[in-house]
Chains A and B, each alone.
Chain A
Amino acid sequence: EAAVTQSPRNKVTVTGGNVTLSCRQTNSHNYMYWYRQDTGHGLRLIHYSYGAGNLQIGDVPDGYKATRTTQEDFFLLLELASPSQTSLYFCASSDVGGGQNTLYFGAGTRLSVL
């Protein structure tokens, strides 16, 4: 079974702060994704990547940067955090893109921006 580990599990920062959320998957999946989950909006795609050094823009990218340093590691960066970015963030991975591939999600990082 795919293993996706996110850290930290909880994070509190202040407006204007700098935050990095980390994600590691240990199943050699090519694709990795960052989603945010908000009540009334479901899961929305922020950024995704199909390999080390690659980055694709998702549906709600404003205010976020991401970097895929290795096949295993995908980071989400908030360089000037705002209260609107208070959310539950999920990382996911999948084997290949397209088709009927299954997304494997981590347990999430709850971020509060005060």
Chain B
Amino acid sequence: QQQVRQSPQSLTVWEGETAILNCSYENSAFDYFPWYQQFPGEGPALLISILSVSDKKEDGRFTIFFNKREKKLSLHIADSQPGDSATYFCAASMTNSAGNKLTFGIGTRVLVRP
């Protein structure tokens, strides 16, 4: 049973467009949601994160929108660049849990065409 779901599995956008990646979760106790970015041949790296007390988090061209009632969130990549081509993982955890056990989604593979 996938506790964190991501869609679409792959996404192609043109340079300059906004890419929208979706994520939903099952466990209402999750309150911390990081997004990790992974380039081919590398390990994932933290891109941006949000706590459930917020409904929006921005960092440059990357924005998380969070809807606690619907247990959904999305990552928007504005003005997409070819260098943004990567796989993006949505993850979730409970901030009061030992070991910071993150539950990851299956990832969205983004391709930005110049």
Contacts and interface: CB of A to CB of B under 8 A. Distances in A.
A97 B96 CA distance: 9
Contact of B44 (A31, A43, A48, A101): A43
B99 A44 contact: no
B95 A98 contact: yes
A49 to B, nearest CB: 9
Interface in B81-114: 89, 91, 95-107
A56 interface: yes
Interface string A95-110: 0111111111111100
- The size bracket of the interface on A is 20 to 34
A68 B65 CA distance: 38
A90 B41 CA distance: 11
Interface string B37-65: 00001111110010100000000000000
A48 B100 CA distance: 10
- The size bracket of the interface on B is 20 to 34
A25 interface: no
A107 B106 CA distance: 18
B49 A100 contact: yes
Nearest to B51: A100
Contacts of B6: 42
B98 A98 contact: yes
A102 B106 CA distance: 19
Given A42-B4, A92-B43, 9 more contacts: A31-B99, A31-B100, A45-B102, A48-B99, A90-B43, A97-B98, A97-B100, A98-B97, A98-B100
Interface of A: 4, 31, 40-45, 48, 50, 56, 58-59, 90, 92, 94, 96-108
9 contacts: A42-B105, A43-B104, A44-B104, A48-B101, A92-B43, A97-B98, A100-B34, A100-B49, A100-B95
Interface of B: 4, 6, 32, 34, 36, 41-46, 49, 51, 89, 91, 95-107
